[in-house]
C-alpha cells in the first residue's frame, strides 16, 4: 500500500458483524511464555507503527466492538468513524495488563492526558456517541440494519478526500504528524519544508489554473 501510487485512502473495516476488532486472543496468549508474549506485543506495536506511517489518509470504520488492541488499531489510523452503538475501550488493566501497541501514547494525543488516564486506569468501555463527544472519533452515526453504518460514513469521508491533490494531502499528513512531535517553532519549520516540496508539483499548477479558468481541477499526483 505504501508504494502503490494508485492508493489514495485506506479504510479499515471488519468482515465480522458487530465487531471491529476484539483485541488479543487471551486464550492464545495464556499458552505463551514471557518471552513469546514480549515478542508478540513488539510485533503488534510495529504493525501499528507501520499503519500510522502510511503516507495516505487512513480511516477506521468502527461498526462494533473495538477493545484493547482493536482500539489501538483504530488509534493508529488518521480518522475514525463509529456507529453510536459501538463499544470502545483500552480494557487491558481489567486483565492485569496495560496497553502495549501504542495505546498509552496515541490515546492522550487524541483526547488529552486527563481523559486518556481515566479511560486506561479504569478500563472503561464507551459507546460511539461518548467517543465523539471526547474527540476519540470524528463522527458517530446511527447503526443501520446491515450493521455497516460506520463503514458507509467512512466511505463518504474517503470520497471527500479523493478529489483533492494527492501529494498535497500526503504532505499535509506528514507535516501534522511530524509537527505534533516537536515544539511549534520546529513544527513551523517542518511545515515550511513540506510546503517547499509541494511548490514545484504539477498539481499545484493545475490547482491555480483551474481556479483561474473556473473549472474543477484534474489532479494527477505529480
- Among 22, 23, 70, 72, the active-site one is 72
Rounded to an integer, the average pLDDT of 95-106 is: 94
Catalytic residue among 24, 116, 149, 150: 24
- How big, in percent rounded to 5, are the helix, strand and coil portions of the chain? 50, 10, 35
For 13-34, b where at least 16 C-beta lie within 10 A, e where not — what string? bbeeeebbbbbbeeeeeeeeee
Q: Is 36 one of the catalytic residues?
A: no
C-alpha to C-alpha distances, 202 to 168, 169, 205, 206, nearest whole angstrom: 11, 14, 5, 6
Domains (ranges, CATH) in the chain? 10-162 (3.90.226.10), 166-213 (1.10.12.10)
**Is 18 known to be catalytic?**
no
Residue 33 pLDDT class (50, 70, 90 cuts): confident
22 is known as an active-site residue: no
Q: What is the mean pLDDT of the chain?
A: 94
The DSSP annotation for 147-193 comes to S-HHHHHHHHHHHHHTTS-HHHHHHHHHHHHHHTTS-HHHHHHHHHH
What's the angle, vertex CA 105, arms to CA 104 and CA 109, rounded to 5? 120
Mean pLDDT within 40-59: 95
CA gyration radius for the chain? Answer: 19
- Confidence grade of residue 109 (pLDDT, cut at 50, 70, 90): very high
Q: How far is it, in rounded angstroms, from Cα 22 to Cα 76?
A: 15
Please indicate whether residue 172 is annotated as part of the active site. no
* Residue 126: closest CA among 60, 72, 59, 67: 67
Of these residues, 64, 68, 69, 100, which one is catalytic?
A: 69
State the pTM of this model: 0.93
From 70, 92, 131, 175, the catalytic residue: 92
Query: Strand pairing of 126-127 and 87-89?
Result: antiparallel
Assign 148 a pLDDT band (cuts: 50, 70, 90). very high
Residue 26 clears pLDDT 80, i.e. is over it = no
Amino acid at each position: 500500500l505504501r508504494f502503490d501510487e494508485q492508493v489514495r485512502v485506506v479504510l479499515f473495516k471488519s468482515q465480522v458483524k458487530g465487531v471491529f476488532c476484539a483485541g488479543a486472543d487471551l486464550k492464545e496468549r495464556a499458552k505463551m511464555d514471557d518471552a513469546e508474549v514480549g515478542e508478540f506485543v513488539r510485533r503488534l506495536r510495529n504493525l501499528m507503527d507501520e499503519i500510522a506511517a502510511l503516507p495516505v489518509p487512513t480511516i477506521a470504520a468502527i461498526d462494533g466492538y473495538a477493545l484493547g488492541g482493536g482500539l489501538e488499531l483504530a488509534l493508529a489510523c488518521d480518522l475514525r468513524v463509529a456507529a453510536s452503538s459501538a463499544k470502545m475501550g483500552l480494557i487491558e488493566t481489567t486483565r492485569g495488563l496495560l496497553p502495549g501497541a501504542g495505546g498509552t501514547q496515541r490515546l492522550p494525543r487524541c483526547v488529552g492526558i486527563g481523559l486518556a488516564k481515566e479511560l486506561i486506569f479504569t478500563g472503561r468501555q464507551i459507546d460511539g456517541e461518548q467517543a465523539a463527544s471526547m474527540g476519540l472519533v470524528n463522527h458517530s452515526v446511527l447503526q443501520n440494519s446491515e450493521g455497516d453504518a460506520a463503514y458507509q460514513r467512512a466511505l463518504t469521508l474517503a470520497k471527500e478526500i479523493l478529489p483533492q491533490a494527492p501529494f498535497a494531502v500526503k504532505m499535509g499528513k506528514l507535516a501534522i504528524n511530524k509537527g505534533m512531535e516537536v515544539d511549534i517553532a520546529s513544527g513551523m519549520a517542518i511545515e515550511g519544508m513540506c510546503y517547499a516540496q509541494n511548490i514545484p508539483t504539477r498539481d499545484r499548477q493545475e490547482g491555480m489554473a483551474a481556479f483561474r479558468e473556473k473549472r474543477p481541477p484534474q489532479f494527477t499526483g505529480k
